[in-house]
């Protein structure tokens, strides 16, 4: 397995829409100080050269913390900045094709909404899965809610690690206790917080206590 499941414990997915005037590298630095274990740079509407410039600035920060940087959807940006890998969804480039382009070393994450998609992604060379939206999401309005039993079902069927995503906050994260995912991903709970470092610390504390009492399924 290429990725240590513990690296996925607290997965931050960026969103500049939540920054309130703060700079993205600064907020990434704060959440890393609070215990985020992996960062995904997610830009939906940015020119390639701007995306690369931003990725370089964020990677300076993630490198300083020794934390992997994943790029949402864009292989060219991943290669240009030597990021750790790419995350793709079901309507993006197929995981097998991403693997052929990126080679064996890069981390590939794939969104899976069903057991069938999860198995196909694993067979195509995915290193981890992102599954949700477990509590809906005000950040990604075009997603669909995933039942927690479906999340567990996916976890039982694959050997690669699984991250839960969608609407996860300090208030509801305990509802995931005892579920079989390897970690949680969050956007607004981290990037909308008035004190991002404290938000990450609080989430991390809850996650660590969830895993010390329940352990992981895999
Ligand atoms: C960790 C993680 N899980 C799921 C997603 C969603 O990816 P996708 O389905 O490609 O949707 P967009 O992010 O492109 O809107 C993710 N990004 N990260
Ligand atoms: C990027 C993303 N993907 C999702 C999915 O369901 O696949 S939900 C989501 C956004 C998650 O943001 P928040 O933590 O603010 O709800």
Domains of the chain: which residue ranges? Answer: 5-212
Residue 174 known to bind ligand: no
What is the whole-number distance in angstroms between the Cα of residue 137 and the centre of ligand 2? 6
Task: State the burial class of residue 136 (Cβ atoms within 10 Å of its Cβ: 0-12, 13-18, 19+).
Answer: middle
Residue whose Cα lies nearest atom 2 of ligand 2: it is: 140
Residue 12 known to bind ligand: no
Q: Is the CB of 14 under 6 A from ligand 2?
A: no
Q: How confident is the prediction along the chain (218 residues), in pLDDT tens digits per residue?
A: 589 999 999 999 999 999 989 999 999 999 999 999 999 999 999 999 999 999 999 999 999 999 999 999 999 999 999 999 999 999 999 999 999 999 999 999 999 999 999 999 999 999 999 999 999 999 999 999 999 999 999 999 999 999 999 999 999 999 999 999 999 999 999 999 999 999 999 999 999 999 987 555 44
**Claim: this prediction has a pTM higher than 0.90:** yes
Residue 73 known to bind ligand: yes
Task: State the burial class of residue 104 (Cβ atoms within 10 Å of its Cβ: 0-12, 13-18, 19+).
Answer: exposed
What is the whole-number distance in angstroms between the Cα of residue 141 and the centre of ligand 2? 8
What is the whole-number distance in angstroms between the Cα of residue 109 and the centre of ligand 1? 9
Residue 91 structure tokens: 């309507």
CATH number of 5-212: 3.20.20.70
Which mutation among 17, 111, 121, 132 tests ligand 2's pocket best, with the greatest number of atoms within 8 A of CB? 132
* ipTM over the 0.90 cut-off: yes
């Amino acid at each position: 397995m290429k990725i240590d499941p513990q690296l996925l414990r607290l997965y931050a997915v960026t969103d500049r829409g939540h920054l309130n005037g703060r700079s993205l590298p600064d907020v990434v630095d704060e959440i890393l100080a609070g215990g985020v274990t992996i960062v995904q740079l997610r830009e939906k509407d940015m020119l390639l050269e701007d995306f690369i410039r931003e990725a370089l600035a964020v990677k300076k920060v993630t490198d300083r913390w020794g934390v992997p940087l994943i790029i949402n959807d864009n292989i060219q940006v991943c290669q240009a900045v030597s990021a750790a890998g790419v995350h793709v969804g079901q309507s993006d480039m197929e995981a097998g094709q991403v693997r052929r382009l990126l080679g064996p070393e890069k981390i590939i994450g794939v969104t899976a909404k069903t057991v069938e998609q999860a198995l196909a992604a694993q067979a195509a060379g995915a290193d981890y899965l992102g599954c949700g939206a477990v509590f809906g999401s005000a950040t990604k309005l075009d997603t669909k809610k995933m039942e927690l039993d479906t999340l567990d079902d996916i976890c039982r069927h694959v050997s690669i690690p699984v991250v839960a995503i969608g609407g996860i906050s300090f208030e509801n994260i305990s509802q995931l206790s005892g579920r079989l995912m390897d970690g949680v991903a969050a956007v607004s709970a981290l990037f909308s917080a008035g004190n991002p470092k404290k938000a990450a610390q609080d989430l991390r504390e809850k996650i660590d206590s969830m895993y010390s009492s329940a352990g992981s399924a895999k």
